[in-house]
Amino acid sequence: MRAIAQVFCLAMMLNLASSPSAVAAPQPGAGEAVSQSSDGLQSRLSNRLNRRSVCNNQARERGLSGRMARRFTRLCLSGLPVPKPIRQTP
């Protein structure tokens, strides 16, 4: 069984080495596309970080800590409805 896996791995490596189209070659104007995609990536990342801080603040306002705060933050970030707590106050 191990020999089959080794043969398969070797065949894949030979296939990649023999086909130059499998390896991405730089094309003219590719630098612009990369910069635009990195700008989009940075904006999505900053949006997520901002949403995470808002969700963390909401968890603190509700008095959540530990696992409950992490669960609340995860649900808040996913966009799913966050259930109201059913705890009885003493």
12-50: pLDDT as tens digits: 766 766 665 545 555 555 555 555 677 888 888 888 888
Cα(2)–Cα(54) distance, integer angstroms: 51
44-71: pLDDT as tens digits: 888 888 889 999 999 999 898 899 889 8
Listed by start position, the domains of the chain span 42-78
Phi and psi torsions of 15, nearest 5°: -65, -45
pLDDT tops 60 at residue 81: yes
- The pLDDT score that the predictor gives to residue 4 is 76
Amino acid at 34: V
- The pLDDT score that the predictor gives to residue 17 is 62
